[in-house]
A and B are shown apart, each in its own frame.
Chain A
């Protein structure tokens, strides 16, 4: 099981790669901290680590009500639009599995802000879940694998491999303009 300290080390690394700052406010009673962009106008990611399942279900809501809704949204950023972009990350490091219904119970809650349960039994799992759920990741679009055009010549090459006779008789020249080269094609197909 990851320790809370390690979890925050991973989270800090993750957010610092997007130039976000960590803020720990003494007025927080429940949540641990939040991360905010440098201009303080785009995103707030509120974080709280839960090590037990019962703790998660007992405390997630009160933390949201008191620290996020009442304090962050209504006091700290009460007159700025960033309050529309608060994400509540419930980082769960416990070993008990969560059922899909349990996820749904929290993540489908529409009050106050968007909530994501980040399961983090290991560093890899934590980063994978953050990459998948948070609107920050750069691996979302798989940009390095953009579709390239399959050329006619590649198609012809694959076709030659696929036919059940000697594909070499199907030259690129013939295939490119089948009608013009019809007689040549037929003669070649008659051969062995």
Chain B
């Protein structure tokens, strides 16, 4: 958003200006410098701007009686109303603020609210007047974030206009709290004060409510006290010899607190109050007492029931104790008789069924013998089957091996060796396998063994013959090999020899064709021969085959014929072995068929015999089961199982046991089972009785039962009496309570008391609200203080930079703004200066610095805040003679600061328009020099005459 700048100001009939004067800042105005001697109208220029914007002048805002009687806004004498026109420019938009004084003739003052009218003109709205104009001005000049939080009228003077009056007033004139408020206002936090005002208003309202409640309470409390006294008097009665309810109750409490039974029941003790009590407390006490007595009665009732039960149990035990003793005696006798009766019964049973057992015993003996025979038979068959299966399996295996050997591709001699090995092994097996006793399998074994034996012998014989043939054959083959080798060597030499002869012959023929000489030297030995002769000799040699080679070839042919003969012999033997083997195989196969037939027959027999055997075992077992009961009785008594001996033993034992029964005097008519049942029933009765004794903690049934009965009866009496007493007391208390509650005064007392309680509660709530409201206000002040402190801290750097640059004091070169509270608890802002090298050495510049130095302190603070403020959009800063009392060096530094505002980098952000004045001609000239390369405008006030200021 673009900032708003001042582009033109027209002052007419305002203070010292009698004629309209136009100040045009539109053509270049980073800096505007006004110069002129004091009294030429410079300050009125700044007043005009302030009045135009706000309708006020800061320096006249202090209450002053004279102010209300004087005219100082309009030019005097009063000709026309004072008018100030301010033209603002925002980008390409122009706004015009027109303010005109409304009272320039009346005798009362022309300064104050409603003493001027305001008109605002803008490019995009109709002219606005007074408040509407002011609102629009706020909208235009206050940044969006701060809108509705600040009023431009109030902040203009703080951020845009620095006058000597204001600077002095801030540092020297203001008290700490006022300064705090002003800085708070500058920093924008003062607006939060409004919340405190609202809270305070509620606090006052609430305080009024408390006062109202207090008045009501003051009326109610005396009435309550009066009723209380009356009720206290009414507590006098005549009951059970007591004249006072409290005494009666105390007596009841004491009586029950000392009651042993109640102590035993662990009931809460009743408490006696020594203090005087009012009616309400009395009712509470009676209620409490009746409640406790009711609880006690309930508990006593429970205890009585328990005691009654205990007494019934004891009486029951007492009546049954004789039966218990008799039962115990009977149990003892029966326990002794039962084993004897049991044994006698068993013996009689054995005697009764002895004949049947004897017959059974005989049958079982026969069956046992039969089973043994069958078992032997089965074993024999089993063995035979097993041997047959082994024999068949081994023999089949041998036959398979025999066929494999014969059909293999091995050399014949190797086949023979394998056959020899097979037949030898078979022979060994036969020796081990052949049963010692003759069996049905023996003929088969013998036939097979003989067949293999025969084959074995043939094989052995053939081996001897074949081995000889093979040795001969090998000798012949070796010789043939040697002859072949020898012939190979001879043929090689013979070929070379013949090649030489062929070459020599060709050479001789060639020489002969080219020479007339008949003689020729042998090309091999050099001997001289006749060429034809030599040719014939050579041809003779070439035409005859070598004798040794020929002899060798003949020999080799002969050897080959012999070898063939030997091989034919071997083939013959091979054929013979095959024939023999086939015959033996057929013979053995026939035997195996017969053995298989026999095996099948044996298996059928075996199964039949096995079934018979199993049937016999089943029969044996069935018989035994039928007589198992009898046998188990025999075993139990430990008698012999042999029937003859058994009978004797039974008879002897019967005689012995009868004698023993007689000796022990056992006379029981009923059966053994009935006796046992009776014993069980007696034992159960005894166990139940003893369990009851244990539960009642009775050890001695003669003494303990009677003692306990006496004790329980006594307790029952006591508990009953106490209960009756308490029921009577409860009845009395209830009647008493009814009479107290029905009391008229008491009802009124209750009503007023309730009213009082309500009022007190309400009051407490209000007090709490006030405390919290005060806490909110206090906290709000603290928050504002912290916020101010934090913002000031942020600004302190720039304040100090400006201050140090201007350098007004040689030692105290730092400014510190310190927030705190004064003795009255108000927030204060203190300005302090301290030395760079001794931060602890602080002074208050108000009392230590010169006026000029003080000005620099104030300028540093205000200028820094004015430069950095972000709440208004007006970029103009008006400085009325800020260097008035500075020395030259300070002035130069201040000018440097102003100049740097316009340095390119900073202008982009700050974009400030500075309008300042000076009364000093030299400084004005210096400024024009210093600002020469900036966009600067000057207005020189040359004089002041009847029409107002005179310009250059």
CB distance from A59 to the nearest CB of B (A): 22
Whether a CB of chain A sits under 8 angstroms from the CB of B811 is: yes
- Within 8 Å by CB of B798, from A140, A164, A165, lies A140
Give residues 855-889 of B contacting A (CB, 8 Å). 867-871, 888-889
Beta-carbon nearest neighbor of A87 in chain B: B896
CB distance from B209 to the nearest CB of A (A): 10
One digit per residue, 1 when the CB lies within 8 angstroms of any chain B CB and 0 when it does not, for chain A 122-155 equals 0000000000110111101111011111111001
Q: Which of A24-32, A44-52, A71-79, A103-111 forms contacts with chain B?
A: A103-111
Q: B783, A146: Cβ atoms under 8 Å? A: no
* Known A135-B899, A158-B783, A185-B202: A142·B776 in contact at CB below 8 Å: no
A143 touches B906 (CB 8 A): yes
Q: Which of A107, A163, A186 contacts B769 (CB 8 A)?
A: A186
User: Is residue A66 contacting chain B, with contact meaning CB distance below 8 A?
Assistant: no
Contacts A84-B929, A155-B787 given; does A141 touch B775 at CB 8 Å: no
Residue pair A147, B794 in contact (C-beta under 8 Å):
yes
Closest Cβ–Cβ distance, residue A129 to chain B (whole Å): 11
Is residue A13 within 8 Å, beta carbon to beta carbon, of the partner chain?
no
Given known contacts A84-B930, A140-B900, A182-B202, is B870 in contact with A149 (CB within 8 Å)? Answer: yes
CB distance from B554 to the nearest CB of A (A): 125
**Contact between A100 and B900, CB atoms less than 8 A apart:** no
Minimum CB distance partner of A83 in chain B: B929
Whether A189 sits at the interface, judged by CB under 8 Å, is yes
Q: Which residues of B lie under 8 Å from residue A145 when comparing CB positions?
A: 794
**B473 at the A/B interface (Cβ < 8 Å)?**
no
How distant is the Cα of A143 from the Cα of B201 in the complex, in angstroms? 41
Instruction: Give the complex CA separation of A88 and B201 in angstroms.
Output: 63
> In the bound complex, do residue B202 and residue A133 qualify as a contact, i.e. CB atoms below 8 Å apart?
no
Is there a chain B Cβ closer than 8 Å to A114's Cβ?
Answer: yes
- Tell me whether A132 and B801 are in contact (CB under 8 A): yes
With beta carbons under 8 angstroms apart, the residue of A135, A142, A146, A149 that contacts B896 is: A135
Chain A residues, CB < 8 A from B867? 141
Residue in A closest to B779 when the chains form the complex, CB atoms: A162
Decide if B926 touches A170 in the complex (CB within 8 Å). no
The distance from the CB of B189 to the nearest CB of chain A, in whole angstroms, is 7
Once the chains are docked, how many angstroms separate the CA of A104 from the CA of B887?
A: 14
Decide yes or no whether A179 CB sits under 8 A from chain B: yes
Complex Cα–Cα for A145 and B765 (A): 46
Say whether A41 faces chain B, with CB atoms less than 8 Å apart: yes
Stretch at the interface among B192-200, B248-256, B379-387, B452-460: B192-200
Q: Which of B188, B787, B798 contacts A141 (CB 8 A)?
A: B798
B197 nearest CB across to chain A (Å): 9
- Interface membership of chain B positions 768-806, coded 1 if the CB is closer than 8 angstroms to chain A and 0 otherwise: 110011011001101100110001001101100100110
B638 within 8 A of A: no
Given contacts A85-B930, A186-B769, whether A107 and B889 have CB atoms under 8 Å apart is: yes
Task: Please give the number of chain A residues whose Cβ is less than 8 angstroms from any Cβ of chain B in the complex.
Answer: 47
Q: Min CB distance, B648 to chain A, in Å?
A: 109
In the assembled complex, the CB of B707 is this many whole angstroms from the nearest CB of chain A, namely 65
**B868 is contacted by which of A146, A170, A179 (Cβ under 8 Å)?**
A146
**CA distance in complex: A136, B900 (Å):** 7
> How far is A103 from B837 in the complex, measured between Cα atoms in Å?
14
Tally of chain B residues near chain A (CB < 8 A): 61
Query: Are A155 and B192 in contact, with the CB atoms below 8 A?
Result: yes
Contact with B783, one of A114, A162, A164, A185 (Cβ below 8 angstroms): A162
**A178 interfacial by beta-carbon distance below 8 Å:** yes
Q: Is A104 touching B775 in the complex (CB atoms < 8 A)?
A: no
User: What residues on B are CB-neighbors of A151 within 8 Å?
Assistant: 145
B contact residues around A155 at 8 Å (CB): 192, 783, 787
Q: Is B274 part of the contact surface with A, judged by Cβ < 8 Å?
A: no
Return chain B residues, CB-CB under 8 Å to A147. Answer: 187-188, 791, 794-795, 868-870
What residues of chain A lie closer than 8 Å to B932, measured between beta carbons?
41, 81
CA distance A52 to B928 in the complex (A): 39
B936 CB → nearest A CB, Å: 13
A141, B906: Cβ atoms under 8 Å?
yes
CB within 8 Å for A108 and B889 given contacts A84-B930, A133-B805, A141-B906: yes
Are the C-beta atoms of B906 and A150 separated by less than 8 Å? no
Cβ of A42 within 8 Å of any chain B Cβ, yes or no, is yes
- Contact of A101 with B by CB under 8 A: yes
The reply on A190 being an interface residue by CB < 8 A is: yes
B711 within 8 A of A: no
CB atoms of A101 and B810 under 8 A apart: yes
Bound together, the chains give a CA A81 to CA B931 distance in angstroms of 10
Q: Give chain A residues whose Cβ lies under 8 Å from the Cβ of B700.
A: none
> Could you tell me the distance in whole angstroms from the C-beta of B806 to the nearest C-beta in chain A?
12
Question: Is B206 located at the chain interface by the 8 A CB criterion?
Answer: yes
Q: Per-position contact with B for A78-94: 1 when CB-CB < 8 Å, else 0?
A: 00010011000000000
A104–B808 Cα gap in the complex (Å)? 11
A70 at the interface (CB under 8 A from B): no
Q: Which residues of B contact A108 (CB under 8 A)?
A: 889
Verify if B668 is at the interface (C-beta below 8 Å from A).
no
**Neighbour of A186 across the interface among B206, B782, B797, B888, CB < 8 A:** B206
Q: Is A175 in contact with chain B by the CB < 8 A criterion? A: yes
Asked whether any CB of chain B lies closer than 8 Å to the CB of A159, the reply is yes
CB proximity of A114 to chain B, nearest CB, Å: 6
A181 vs B481: C-alpha distance when bound (angstroms): 139
Chain B residue nearest to A108 in the complex (CB)? B889
Q: What residues of chain A lie closer than 8 Å to B145, measured between beta carbons?
A: 148-149, 151
Q: Which residue of B lies closest to A150 (CB)?
A: B787
Considering the complex, give the chain B residue whose CB is closest to the CB of A162. B779
Q: Does B897 contact A (CB under 8 A)?
A: yes
In the complex, the answer to whether A189 meets B769 with C-beta atoms within 8 Å is yes
Known contacts A149-B146, A155-B783; A189/B773 CB under 8 A: yes
A190-B773 Cα distance, complex, nearest whole Å: 11
Check B896 against A163 for contact (C-beta < 8 Å).
no
In this complex, what residue of A is CB-closest to B790?
A: A150
A contact residues around B202 at 8 Å (CB) = 178, 182, 185-186
- A13: min CB distance to chain B, Å: 17
Q: How far is the CA of A173 from the CA of B202 in the complex (A)?
A: 17
Q: Which residues of A lie under 8 Å from residue B189 when comparing CB positions?
A: 150
* B 892-906 contacts with A by CB, 8 A: 892-893, 896-897, 899-900, 903, 905-906
The reply to whether A135 and B926 contact each other, CB–CB distance below 8 Å, is no
| CB < 8 Å neighbour of B198 from A110, A142, A179 | A179
Q: Which residues of A contact B776 (CB under 8 A)?
A: 159, 163, 170
For the complex, give the distance between the alpha carbons of A101 and B810 in Å: 7
Chain B positions within 8 Å of A162 at CB level: 779-780, 782-783
Of A103, A146, A148, A189, which contacts B772 at CB under 8 A?
A: A189
Q: Complex: how many Å from CA A150 to CA B769?
A: 28
- B391 in the interface, Cβ–Cβ < 8 Å? no
Closest 8 CB pairs of A and B: A162-B779, A135-B896, A178-B198, A149-B145, A158-B783, A84-B929, A189-B769, A189-B772
CB-defined A-B contacts under 8 Å, sample of 24: A100-B810, A107-B807, A114-B893, A140-B798, A140-B900, A141-B798, A141-B867, A142-B794, A143-B906, A145-B794, A146-B868, A147-B791, A147-B869, A149-B188, A150-B791, A162-B783, A163-B775, A163-B776, A165-B772, A178-B195, A179-B198, A179-B201, A182-B202, A186-B769
Binding site for B on A (CB under 8 A): 41-42, 81, 84-85, 100-101, 103-104, 107-108, 110, 114, 132-133, 135-138, 140-143, 145-152, 155, 158-159, 162-165, 170, 175, 178-179, 182, 185-186, 189-190
5 more A-B contacts (CB under 8 A) besides A145-B794, A159-B776, A179-B198? A149-B146, A150-B189, A150-B787, A185-B202, A190-B768
